[in-house]
């Protein structure tokens, strides 16, 4: 595995301030998604890793602004950030380290600009999120927020041109991944009063938001978790078609991410109603086995 400085060199990022900017985003991403960051370090080409880090940092920062705390300050913080990103895209300059990395990455990968602008345009779906009434509401949320956010990173790994197949496969993946996040993060979402499982789905299993908030391990809760994890797993398994649609050097990373999500689904299913008390994580040994297999595939 190459050092971070070698990745910056390979990406042609040599200006000292810009190197510090990218390094700051690297530290943030490594804390935010350690398993995914390790996979990227192991499996991505040196020139691409800093740009994937910048895109991931943008996604993470936006997520924090949009869903942490009371709505009025969230709305004000997002509006300020969106304005500064748009101004930077127009002027080519910013005083914000994160935005400077995004600007540079967009200059190297021009196709990303449209993706960033689309994300900025639709991201308030997360700001307004207060739960779902129906499955259709969940699907609309995926299209408005989860998919545009995922495409910030996926676009850097995808084909230069897309006939629609790559985007469709990305959507299949994120439908499953986001559903898994919502069921796996039930405890955290309940503390914030915004469970991500549709109310209509709760009704099917005779479970109320009050039951979930009270941490009642009812038979219906166990059945609900099994249903949601099963639905997520079905989409994640279907998303195994996605690696074949990515640019050749990057398919092992996408494949590893999908397999680690499936390991997480297994762990969430095993935890069952225990998810009301805390999230499940993929077993470390299994995740390492996936990464080592992907590393061998990348080399051959």
Check residue 249 and give its pLDDT.
84
**HSE-CB for 144 with a 13 A CA cutoff:** 14
* Residues contacting 258, CB < 8 A, separation 6+: 173, 236, 239, 240, 242, 243
| 289-to-41, 180, 184 alpha-carbon distances in Å | 15, 21, 22
* Residue 123 maps to a domain: no
Same structural domain for residues 135 and 23?
no
Same structural domain for residues 196 and 61?
no
Domain count, the chain: 2
Instruction: Write out the residue range of the structural domain in which residue 72 sits.
Output: 1-114
Check residue 159 and give its pLDDT.
85
Same structural domain for residues 238 and 134?
yes
Task: Compute the distance between CA of residue 55 and CA of residue 58 in angstroms, rounded to an integer.
Answer: 5
| 114-to-12, 60, 106, 142, 148 alpha-carbon distances in Å | 23, 19, 9, 18, 11
Same structural domain for residues 158 and 270?
yes
* Local confidence pLDDT in tens for the 300 residues of the chain: 568 999 999 999 999 999 999 999 999 999 988 888 888 998 999 999 999 999 999 999 999 999 878 889 999 999 999 999 999 999 999 999 999 999 999 999 999 999 999 999 999 998 888 889 999 999 999 999 999 999 999 999 988 777 899 999 999 999 999 999 999 999 888 887 888 999 999 999 999 888 888 888 889 999 999 999 999 999 999 999 999 998 878 899 999 999 999 999 999 999 999 999 999 999 989 999 999 999 888 787
Check residue 2 and give its pLDDT.
66
- Mean pLDDT score of the chain, rounded to an integer? 93
Same structural domain for residues 32 and 180?
no
* Residue 91 maps to a domain: yes
Longest dimension (CA), the chain: 59
* Residues contacting 51, CB < 8 A, separation 6+: 11, 105, 108, 109, 156
- DSSP-assigned letter for residue 46: T
Question: Which uninterrupted H or E stretch holds 180?
Answer: helix 165-184
Are residues 49 and 128 in contact, defined by beta-carbon separation less than 8 angstroms?
A: no
| Helix axis angle, 219-238 to 165-184, nearest 10° | 160
CATH of the domain at 154: 1.10.600.10
| 14-to-102, 104, 152 alpha-carbon distances in Å | 16, 12, 24
Going 252 to 229 to 283 to 193, the CA torsion angle's sign is positive
Check residue 160 and give its pLDDT.
74
Same structural domain for residues 270 and 151?
yes
* Residue 239 maps to a domain: yes
Check residue 298 and give its pLDDT.
78
Task: Compute the distance between CA of residue 138 and CA of residue 122 in angstroms, rounded to an integer.
Answer: 15
Check residue 248 and give its pLDDT.
75
Check residue 297 and give its pLDDT.
82
Question: Which uninterrupted H or E stretch holds 38?
Answer: helix 34-43
Same structural domain for residues 9 and 99?
yes
């Amino acid at each position: 595995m190459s050092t971070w400085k070698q990745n910056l060199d390979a990406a042609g990022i040599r200006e000292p301030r810009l190197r510090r900017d990218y390094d700051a985003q690297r530290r943030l991403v490594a804390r935010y998604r350690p398993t995914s960051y390790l996979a990227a370090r192991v499996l991505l080409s040196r020139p691409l890793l800093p740009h994937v880090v910048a895109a991931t940092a943008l996604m993470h920062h936006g997520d924090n602004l949009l869903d942490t705390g009371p709505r009025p300050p969230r709305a004000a913080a997002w509006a300020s950030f969106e304005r500064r990103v748009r101004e930077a895209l127009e002027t080519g300059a910013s005083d914000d380290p994160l935005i400077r990395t995004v600007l540079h990455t967009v200059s190297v990968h021009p196709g990303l600009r449209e993706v960033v602008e689309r994300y900025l345009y639709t991201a308030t779906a997360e700001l307004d999120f207060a739960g779902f009434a129906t499955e259709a509401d969940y699907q609309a949320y995926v299209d408005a927020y989860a998919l545009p956010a995922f495409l910030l990173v996926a676009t850097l790994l995808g084909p230069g041109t897309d006939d629609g197949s790559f985007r469709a496969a990305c959507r299949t993946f994120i439908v499953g991944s986001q559903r898994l996040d919502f069921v796996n993060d039930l405890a955290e979402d309940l503390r914030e009063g915004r469970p991500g499982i549709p109310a209509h789905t709760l009704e099917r299993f005779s479970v109320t938001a009050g039951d979930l908030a009270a941490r009642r391990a009812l038979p219906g809760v166990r059945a609900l978790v099994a249903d949601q994890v099963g639905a997520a797993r079905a989409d994640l398994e279907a998303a195994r078609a996605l690696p074949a649609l990515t640019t050749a050097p990057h398919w092992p990373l996408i494949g590893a991410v999908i397999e680690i999500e499936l390991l997480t689904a297994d762990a969430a299913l095993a935890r069952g109603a225990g998810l009301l008390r805390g999230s499940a994580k993929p077993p470390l040994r299994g995740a390492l086995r996936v990464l080592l297999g992907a590393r061998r595939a990348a080399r051959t």
